[in-house]
Amino acid sequence: MANSENTFGDRLGRARKMQEIITKFDPPFDPPNTALQPGNFDAFLQLIDARNTLVATAGPADSAAIALHANWMETIKSRTTRVVDYVSSNEAWAQFFPGVKQAADKVRSYHPGANKKETPASPGAPAKKKRKSGQQSYGDIDQWFEKVIEAVKLVPGYKPKPESNIQIAQLTALLADYRQSNKDAATTDAALDSSQRSRKEGYDGAAGLRAKMKAIKKAVGAQYDRKRPEYASVASIAL
């Protein structure tokens, strides 16, 4: 079954329905695998619910970190343009302008790359996780912005007003903020990836939700007979 945020919730809902049903059997449901007993199965469903919550929490945190990262990128581009304008406005700095502009052009023309088409994986090989567009820039634009700062340091008398936000100290602080945002976005993405993998294992792993629900159906059929209402009540629940 294909998984999406909605289907994960639907599947857990069906599992809870199954748990409620087997709890009411008389005589009590007593499968040979104790993990399938109503109380233990209920505890497992609580674990699945906790993993869903982790994903639900990690997702927005990751999106927020990537959005902040993109905002810092646009700020760098804007400040870079102002640096170019400031340096080019003084004819006495003409010999230093090419060095500033060369690095600045790399910054201003930079765009996060799209996901490249990759050769399909061999049958049975795990699919590679696609990088979000915001992640493409990790460790790229900041290198060119650093070159802008180094080029500006060579300009004698480069002393813009503080309110311009393009003083060397201000540009250096911006670079540090951007690099920290890279680290934050990488951290939140790793957390999201880990929680998604854990949830997927909980649902579809060898001892996951689907396997347990399938085993419960077989155990009910064995204990009560497949022709009895007990089996019919769980057999119709989709896995």
Both tokens assigned to 169: 């100290």
pLDDT of residue 187: 95
Instruction: Specify if 128 maps to a domain.
Output: no
Count of structural domains, the chain: 1
Instruction: Specify if 85 maps to a domain.
Output: yes
DSSP characters over 41-71 = HHHHHHHHHHHHHHHHHHHHHHHHHHHHHHH
Domain with 50 in it: 5-110+137-235
Both tokens assigned to 213: 């629900």
Instruction: Specify if 55 maps to a domain.
Output: yes
For the chain, give the mean pLDDT: 89
How many Å apart are CA 213 and CA 93, to the nearest integer? 74
Distance of CA 195 to the CA centre of its chain: 9
What's the pTM? 0.77
For the chain, what is the radius of gyration of the CA atoms? 29
- Residues 12-52 have pLDDT tens digits of 999 999 999 999 999 999 999 999 999 999 999 999 999 99
Instruction: Specify if 180 maps to a domain.
Output: yes
Instruction: Specify if 149 maps to a domain.
Output: yes
Least confident range from 4-13, 31-40, 101-110: namely 4-13
Does position 115 have pLDDT exceeding 90, yes or no?
A: no
Instruction: Specify if 118 maps to a domain.
Output: no
Instruction: Specify if 227 maps to a domain.
Output: yes
Report the sign of the C-alpha dihedral through residues 16, 18, 19, 25, in that order. positive
